[in-house]
Amino acid sequence: MGGRVDDPSNMSATTSSEIMPVPAPKSSPLHIVIVGGGLGGLTLAVALGKAGVKVDLFEQSPAFAQIGAGIHLGPNTIRALRLLGLGEEYDAAGETEEGGGLFFEWWDGRTDKKYGETFTKYPRSSCHRARLLEALLRGMPSNVQAHFSTRVNGVESVGNKARLKYTASRKGAQGGEGPSEEGFIDADVIVGADGVKSVIRTALQLPSPKHAFPSIEGKELPPASYRYTGTYCYRGLVPMDKAKSIDPQDQTVTNSVAVDRMWFAPNSHILTFPIEQGKILNVVAFISDRSKPKDQRFFDGPWVKPVSHETLMNDFKDYHEHPRRLLELFDDFGHQQWALHEVMSPLTWRKGRITLLGDSAHASLPHNGAGAGQAIEDSYVLTRLLSHPECTPDNVEEFLQAYEDVRKPRTSLSSYTRSRLERCTSLHRPSVTTWRR
């Protein structure tokens, strides 16, 4: 991820007295199907379940799983979790500095000179992804039924219901893979929380935003989809005692690896922040190629692929020995390149009773550390609406439209601040020098 954005619009969500917690459970007449058990789908499932709504969740993997990496959550996300009644679970999993404080230290990657620091007065929080997953699972109510190893193939509207089609893999007699089983389920609402490659978004054939295709002026726009951003990254977790050893003589370095920090250089940056009560340093190292226009960046091959240690070190060969020593400490997990893709968020997220949430609707580069946060905010708003006493199977489409009306501008703003930050952190914008002391 990248640095969080403490812009005033983000903060409004933390201060508005009009924001209400999700009401105490009552019996809801709705039945909701969620596709995808990532942080977005899982948060929505737990929140809806707690609000008394019957939920079926379909996940293609055999279990809920999170990669071993850290995550930053902004103040609005923490607020959304608390309003969803998941505050206690989160507080046990993550570390939040309620009064804010040092937000980031900014360092030149090539010279290891400090540009400066930024501070925030708002709560700041980080967490191990696995702990966040555990926290959400602890809050899972019994009216949520999870269907694992079940891949969703498509959706359609059938009368006043939405229909989901799936293929479930069954275990064979020896515990291996057995025969698969085709099936369908009807629901009042289907929510596609199935990530960047979303089958649900593809099935809905939603219209693309015109601005995403500057190079195809005059031609017909394809349906909204995803594309390569031109950026890949390496992610690693380094034990803090080892991280601090990158230069035992240099107190500046040893102290500051323990705070949130960014080293940057043209077309690249390295981000670090502590997790697990400061015992682990989360490190993400980004490389960007902006030589082609946005709609002409293509990527072939697996999005996550193992690479050699030399490849990693060669990508940061112009960096100072301090950040390079940190990369030397990467474990095997850090020797994987992650090609980062974004979703050209469709003009509308909804068709009838089927809608999108999280990355499937609005994935973008992680430079403002807000993708999961936005998915959690989506979950809060959608839960508030679907558990509203006046929401029924007959009028639910109006509530889904209200969800989109609230969330679309908000997530677009988040993508916009992310792209501004990206130009700064990879020095794509000369004005970044104005940050220097």
Ligand X SMILES: Cc1cc2nc3c(=O)[nH]c(=O)nc-3n(C[C@H](O)[C@H](O)[C@H](O)COP(=O)(O)OP(=O)(O)OC[C@H]3O[C@@H](n4cnc5c(N)ncnc54)[C@H](O)[C@@H]3O)c2cc1C
Question: Please, which residue, 61 or 395, has the CB nearer to ligand X?
Answer: 61
Distant-in-sequence, close-in-space partners of 324: CB < 8 Å, separation ≥ 6:
313, 316
Minimum distance between the CB of residue 392 and ligand X, rounded to whole angstroms?
A: 27
The beta strands (E) that lie in 307-359 are given as 336-343, 354-356
> Residues 210-239: x/- map of binding to ligand X (CB under 6 A)?
-----------------------x-x----
Question: Please, which residue, 53 or 285, has the CB nearer to ligand X?
Answer: 285
Is residue 40 within the footprint of ligand X (CB under 6 A)?
A: yes
Task: Give the C-alpha separation, 373 to 118, whole Å.
Answer: 21
> Residues 55-94: x/- map of binding to ligand X (CB under 6 A)?
---xxxx---------xxx---------------------
Size of the site for ligand X (CB under 6 A): 35
Would you say 424 and 418 are in contact if contact means Cβ atoms under 8 Å apart? no
Task: Give the C-alpha separation, 334 to 304, whole Å.
Answer: 11
Nearest alpha-carbon partner for 61 in 150, 184, 140, 180: 150
Would you say 270 and 426 are in contact if contact means Cβ atoms under 8 Å apart? no
Task: Give the C-alpha separation, 41 to 383, whole Å.
Answer: 12
Residues numbered 408 to 427 that lie near ligand X (CB under 6 A) are: none
Q: Rg for the chain (alpha carbons), in Å?
A: 22
Minimum distance between the CB of residue 64 and ligand X, rounded to whole angstroms?
A: 8
Query: Which residues is 102 bridged to in the sheet?
Result: 119
Q: Which of 284, 312, 381, 391 binds ligand X (CB under 6 A)?
A: 284
Nearest alpha-carbon partner for 325 in 206, 200, 218, 238: 238
Residues numbered 346 to 405 that lie near ligand X (CB under 6 A) are: 358-359, 366, 369-373, 375
Minimum distance between the CB of residue 301 and ligand X, rounded to whole angstroms?
A: 17
Task: Give the C-alpha separation, 321 to 327, whole Å.
Answer: 10
Question: Please, which residue, 112 or 234, has the CB nearer to ligand X?
Answer: 234
Span interacting with ligand X, options 36-44, 138-146, 253-261, 390-398, rule CB under 6 A:
36-44
Residues numbered 168 to 207 that lie near ligand X (CB under 6 A) are: 193-195, 199
Summarize as ranges the residues that interact with ligand X (CB under 6 A): 1, 35-41, 58-61, 71-73, 151-152, 193-195, 199, 233, 235, 284, 338, 340, 358-359, 366, 369-373, 375
